[in-house]
A and B are shown apart, each in its own frame.
Chain A
Amino acid sequence: MNILQVYLTLAAVLFSLGIFAVITRRNAIAVLMGIELILNAANLNFIAFARFGGMNFSGHIFALFVIVLAAAEVAVALAIIINLYQNFKSINVDEAQQLKQ
């Protein structure tokens, strides 16, 4: 498929669903999944513009860095969530206000 708009629309769908998960989910891990969807949408945009903007590899590099940052982010976020669970026996983001009791 050689149409830029198709990829951008798919990225827009993923981005909107990710935002929906972030603002409606109560479980912290489900919110994290929404953030992963948003990052994937951004990556898809980077790669699509790299492909249709004259095969510029800078977009690929940016996508690689986004993937690396996502890995670091998910590790720290899960550590925080597990800490939260140990302290409050719940990972409901509506109830979580502090990391220590």
Chain B
Amino acid sequence: MTNIVFWFFVIMTITAALMVVLSKNLIYAAIALLFTFLGVAAMYVFLWADFIAGTQVMIYIGGILILLLFGIMLTHKITSVRISHTNVQRVEGALIVAAIFVGLVWMINFTPWLKVTTQEPLQTVHSIGTLLMTDFLLPFEVASVLLLGALIGAAVLARKET
């Protein structure tokens, strides 16, 4: 049963990612991106990272995807045909990407990965919170400053010149 659910999510992720890349309609691509994010969140659940899965759903689907949809709708007339944007140089691009993919798969299958068997942790949020407040306190604070900078920068860039 777990296997069926797992492979369902794997196939859903790959199909949706293909649609993101190949769809001519950008709105369809954005909706397919939603399913890609959902599939990756499901992978996180299978990898015992429930908190990251929740964060993925909240920030990627609730935030980034909505921003992207806003971007699409602000930069197009929704009914015009210019919303469809095809790809250029498909063959060359596909060749390069196929070379990268074959190399990656070769590397994945022939590297002797370190295998450590562990028990499933009882909780993850407690450990993540403790680490964020001890070992990773400086990156945590820097990330908050970066978010503030990005917020101000985006507002300054997007406002109309008066």
Contacts and interface: CB of A to CB of B under 8 A. Distances in A.
Contact of B153 (A9, A50, A76): A76
Interface size range on B against A: 35 or more
User: Helix, strand, loop or mixed for chain B's interface?
Assistant: helix
A59 B48 CA distance: 12
A30 B59 contact: no
Contacts of B146: 68-69, 72
Nearest to A34: B21
B3 A1 contact: yes
A63 B59 contact: no
A37 B87 CA distance: 17
A16 B104 contact: yes
Contact of B56 (A10, A25, A67): A67
A50 B89 CA distance: 37
Interface in B113-157: 113-116, 118-119, 121, 124, 127-128, 131-132, 135-136, 139, 143, 146-147, 149-151, 153-155, 157
Contact of A64 (B37, B48, B63, B128): B128
A32 B33 CA distance: 11
B56 A33 contact: no
Given A16-B97, A20-B94, A65-B143, A27 B154 contact: no
B26 A23 contact: no
Interface of B: 2-3, 6, 10, 13-14, 17-18, 20-21, 26, 29-30, 33, 36-37, 40, 43-44, 46-49, 51-52, 55-56, 59-60, 63-64, 67-68, 70-72, 74-75, 85-90, 93-94, 96-98, 100-101, 104-105, 108-109, 113-116, 118-119, 121, 124, 127-128, 131-132, 135-136, 139, 143, 146-147, 149-151, 153-155, 157-158, 160
18 contacts: A4-B115, A7-B43, A13-B17, A13-B101, A37-B20, A40-B36, A48-B47, A53-B114, A55-B121, A60-B128, A61-B128, A67-B59, A73-B150, A75-B150, A76-B150, A76-B153, A78-B154, A79-B155
